[in-house]
Structure 1
Amino acid sequence: MIRHVVLFRWKPDWDPAEWFDVVEGLQERIPEVRSLSVGADVLHADRSWDAAIVADFDRLEDVATYTAHPAHQPAIALSKAGAEQIVSVDFKLPASAT
């Protein structure tokens, strides 16, 4: 299983409400997504980012399918419009974690 983690730092005064709505609907619209969590930071520490997505996929190829999927494109566009910075990491989960 592959875990896909993306962190976002929003531009000042940008409202991510529409972004959250779009991202929250991706699991239902993209069959390759096994699980998806999205949320805003609640700690607000100096090292915190504003929001995160954590999604799990069976295979690395499924991450590519998700990225290119038409339902994902509005989320990408909103991310580019609202984010100052975006970072991601994709890693293999050990079998014991799945």
Structure 2
Amino acid sequence: MVTHIVLFKLKDRSPESVERTAAVLRAMEGQIEQLKSIEVGLDVLHSERSYDIALITKHESMDDLQAYQVHPVHKKVSEHMSQVREAAVSVDFIS
């Protein structure tokens, strides 16, 4: 299993904007065969170092992660995220 984690800091950090963006991420569920699980978490601390949204996805293999990355649904979400994010960091690991 491969775990893919991305943290997003948004340009507009208002609660409404964060929830709208989280809904865009959650909408991938059930749309991409290689996406075995998805979790979208919203920051509750709102500290200076906090990111606004955490995306955690699970994939059966590295090949499935790669297929997820280029899937049309993911590409559309990525386009949206590139417009609304200020910053993003990620980590991928075998779990």
Bucket of the pairwise TM-score, normalised by the shorter protein: 0.7 to 0.9
Q: Distance in 1 between matches of 2:13 and 2:59?
A: 33
C-alpha distance in structure 2 between counterparts of 1:6 and 1:13, whole Å: 17
CA distance in 1, matches of 2:13, 2:49: 19
CA distance in 2, matches of 1:78, 1:33: 19
* Runs of 5+ consecutive residues of structure 1 not aligned to the other structure: 94-98
**TM-score scaled by structure 1?**
0.85
Q: How many percent identity over aligned positions?
A: 32
**C-alpha contact (below 8 Å) 2:22/2:53 kept by paired residues:** no
Report if the CA contact (8 A) 2:35-2:68 is conserved: yes
Match of 2:70 in 1: 68
Q: How does 1:5-44 map to 2 (within 5 A)?
A: 5-12=5-12, 15-44=17-46
Aligned to 1:4: 4
User: C-alpha offsets along residues 22-75 of structure 1, whole Å, 9 cap, x if unaligned?
Assistant: 211212000111110012111112321111100011101111111110111221
Distance 1:13 1:27, change over 3 A: closer
Shift of 1:89: 0.5
Of 76, 91, 95 in structure 2, the residue corresponding to residue 89 of structure 1 is: 91
Equivalent residues, number: 93
Q: Distance in 2 between matches of 1:45 and 1:74?
A: 30
